[in-house]
């Protein structure tokens, strides 16, 4: 028999690498083919140190079963590459090589009726390496895979749920043939997942079966359902009854989770030798006699057939999701015209609609820029629409920020608001990181804003002196707008105090704002006006004290807000406007200001919204 360089063969045929999911699936499949009906997968984790960080990594996998084990015939097959004894069930004869690709150590122990068979599987394995010991006992085969070549943080829940998805169709079809198979997973990872989890064919029922034809090939579909909190609609593309690729139809469907296993002799033929992907031509122009059906032709048909199965089985679920999806789109994306989708938003995820919308906007903007660059006549209606659409998205963004802040715990106000206005350690250069408009809409535009982490670097002397005198730096330290000559002329200071501070600490916060403003005004001679906001809780005692100091009430929809004018700088010639407010008032008032924009937006979108045509994307499914 011709020899084979097994190391090179593995390197050539597993270029994409092998995951724990691949290895476990191969081991379970071999157990099922060996007639086992009780299979156990044990996942052993070990704490290891990576760059001073301790991680819990998957260190060992043990797969055991009660199948026929390593009989002499099975040993002979094990010693041969590309065996043909499983051709009738789709076996490729190379699956076990995944063990060698994944780990440095693979050990086999198989108890037969009268013998115990033991050996270590390596690229140089020979039948002479097998150790046989006379021993009797119940059939049990145990494969231990250890010393993985890559150590990663394995998520147990994701791994086991993926395995169940991969095996669901195979276990269901075996049950129909009279074989009830149970797979038990155990682990010591201490992750939030049951320590022992059983997946049995008894639990698997197909709600509906269906077949359809494409290009002369028949495809069989099996509909399965998992209850909430699991969600989504996924087509599982199977080769030889095992899931090879997943095609996401809907990620947001939240009534339950529907899985549709799709199998066909065509999919069997297009699966690569490692059964890691389906090699289906992408477009109709790529097809040939061997692969006459393209993804371009097949995926939309699978999409429609899967949804038809669900509609026929549980129409209420789909109708409920349709209503929910439309309401979410109206709330969070009111600038997109839902009616222009001709009802197709029914099963379209909001993110797909928005992705299509944004792509259209980008194309419109690119065309407009090209016209301007080339000197062609620009369409002023397009300019107007682009501007209004951007404004609409910004208004919706503001509403989402405010809604998020409104749900925050009161005791966490300082941290939440600080990160909303400007993330700690941010230098403020990116406008998308800032929401200074939360304190007042006059701050919608600015030239730069700086937070505590970079203040000393930007205004080094002022920062050092301020910290030296006051023992701390302001939370959001400086906001500049510029005059006509490009010089900074306005300054904003925002200071947070944690809830529970007494009257002395609260008054200290007010004093810190004034002193810091004075220091900056003296060093930046072009500053002509300062706005300061002290975000503190205002109890009765603190309120009375501020009123005695000349603070005036400012209209607010909720709690008390007060204001006073001061003069700052060494010459007392720069006005300082100091506002004092609790976090709740800041959020409620910001929401009220934004509500005006939202109402105008919804009215305008109802009257004049641009048309949007969105259709489901045709993604190339990935495993």
The answer to whether residues 493 and 533 touch, using CB atoms and an 8 Å cutoff, is yes
The span from the CA of 554 to the CA of 560, in Å, is 8
The span from the CA of 82 to the CA of 89, in Å, is 14
The span from the CA of 123 to the CA of 264, in Å, is 34
- In sequence order, the 6+-apart residues with CB closer than 8 A to the CB of 222 are 169, 172, 206, 208, 209, 260, 261, 263
**Is omega for the bond preceding 229 within 30 degrees of 0, making it cis?**
yes
Residue 556: per-residue pLDDT: 80
Instruction: Kindly provide the b/e burial profile for residues 260-271, where b requires at least 16 CB atoms within 10 angstroms of the residue's own CB.
Output: bbbbbebbbebb
Nearest to 61 by CA among 144, 156, 117: 144
User: Mean pLDDT per 10-residue run, the chain (623 residues)?
Assistant: 56 69 92 94 86 79 94 78 46 66 92 93 86 92 93 89 94 95 95 95 94 94 92 92 90 86 93 78 88 93 91 77 71 60 50 62 73 72 62 67 70 66 57 65 58 45 58 56 70 77 84 83 83 87 92 84 91 91 82 73 51 40 40
The span from the CA of 429 to the CA of 432, in Å, is 9
The span from the CA of 436 to the CA of 445, in Å, is 9
Helix (H) or strand (E) holding 197: strand 196-200
Residue 491: φ, ψ to 5°: -135, 140
The span from the CA of 537 to the CA of 417, in Å, is 14
Q: Where are the alpha helices (DSSP H) in 441-561?
A: 455-458, 460-470, 503-523, 540-548
Tokens 């975000």 correspond to what residue? 535
Count of helix runs (H) and strand runs (E) in the chain: 16, 20
Q: What is the DSSP string of 278-316?
A: B---SSGGG--SSS---HHHHHHHHHHHHHHHHHHH-HH
The span from the CA of 169 to the CA of 219, in Å, is 14
pTM of the model: 0.59
């Amino acid at each position: 028999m011709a020899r084979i360089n097994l190391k090179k063969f593995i390197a050539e045929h597993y270029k994409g690498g092998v995951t724990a999911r691949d290895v476990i699936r191969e081991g379970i499949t071999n157990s099922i083919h060996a007639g086992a009906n009780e299979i156990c997968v044990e996942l052993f984790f070990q704490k290891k140190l990576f760059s001073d960080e301790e991680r819990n990594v998957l260190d060992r996998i043990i797969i055991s079963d009660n199948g026929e084990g390593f009989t002499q015939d099975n040993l002979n097959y094990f010693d041969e590459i590309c065996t043909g004894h499983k051709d009738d069930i789709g076996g490729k004869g190379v699956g076990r090589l995944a063990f060698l690709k994944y780990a440095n150590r693979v050990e086999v122990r198989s108890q037969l009726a009268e013998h115990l068979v033991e050996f270590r599987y390596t690229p140089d394995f020979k039948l002479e390496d097998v150790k046989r010991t006379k021993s009797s006992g119940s059939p049990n085969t145990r494969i231990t895979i250890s010393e993985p070549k890559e150590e990663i943080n394995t998520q147990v829940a994701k791994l086991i749920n993926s395995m169940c998805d991969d095996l669901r169709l195979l276990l269901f079809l075996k049950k129909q043939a009279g074989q009830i198979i149970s797979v038990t997973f155990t682990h010591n990872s201490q992750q939030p997942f049951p320590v022992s989890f059983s997946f049995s064919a008894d639990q698997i029922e197909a709600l509906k079966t269906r077949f359809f034809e494409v290009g002369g090939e028949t495809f069989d579909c099996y509909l399965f359902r998992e209850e909430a909190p699991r969600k989504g609609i996924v087509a599982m593309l199977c080769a030889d009854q095992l899931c090879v690729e997943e095609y996401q139809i809907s990620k947001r469907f939240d009534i339950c989770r529907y899985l549709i296993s799709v199998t066909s002799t065509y999919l069997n033929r297009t699966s690569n030798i490692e059964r890691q992907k389906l090699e289906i031509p992408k477009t109709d122009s790529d097809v040939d006699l061997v692969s006459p059906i393209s993804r371009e032709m097949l995926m939309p048909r699978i999409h429609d057939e899967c949804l038809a199965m669900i509609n026929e089985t549980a129409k209420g679920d789909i109708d409920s999701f349709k209503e929910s999806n439309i309401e979410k789109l109206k709330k969070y994306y009111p600038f997109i015209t839902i009616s222009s989708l001709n009802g197709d938003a029914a099963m379209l995820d909001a993110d797909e609609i928005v992705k299509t919308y944004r792509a259209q906007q980008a194309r419109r903007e690119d065309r407009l820029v090209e016209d301007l660059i080339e000197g062609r006549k620009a369409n002023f209606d397009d300019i107007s629409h682009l501007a209004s659409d951007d404004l609409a998205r910004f208004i919706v963004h503001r509403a989402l920020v405010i809604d998020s802040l409104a749900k925050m715990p009161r005791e966490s106000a300082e941290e939440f608001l600080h990160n909303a206005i400007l993330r700690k350690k941010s230098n403020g250069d990116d406008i998308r990181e800032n929401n200074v408009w939360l304190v007042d809409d006059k701050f919608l535009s600015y030239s730069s804003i700086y937070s505590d982490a970079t203040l000393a670097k930007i205004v080094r002397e002022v920062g050092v002196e301020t910290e030296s005198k006051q023992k701390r730096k302001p939370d959001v330290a400086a906001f500049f707008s510029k005059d006509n000559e490009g010089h900074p002329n306005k300054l904003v200071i925002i200071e947070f105090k944690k809830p529970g501070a007494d009257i002395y600490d609260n008054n200290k916060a007010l004093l810190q704002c004034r002193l810091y403003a004075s220091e900056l005004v003296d060093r930046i001679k072009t500053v002509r006006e300062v706005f300061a906001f002290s975000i503190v809780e205002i109890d009765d005692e603190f309120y009375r004290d501020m009123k005695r100091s000349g603070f005036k009430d400012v209209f607010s929809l909720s709690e008390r807000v007060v204001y006073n004018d001061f003069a700052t700088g060494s010459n007392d010639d720069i006005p300082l406007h100091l506002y004092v407010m609790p976090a709740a008032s800041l959020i409620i008032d910001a929401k009220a200001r934004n509500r005006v924009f939202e109402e105008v937006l919804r009215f305008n979108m109802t009257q004049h919204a641009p048309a949007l045509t969105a259709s489901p994307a045709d993604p190339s499914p990935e495993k």
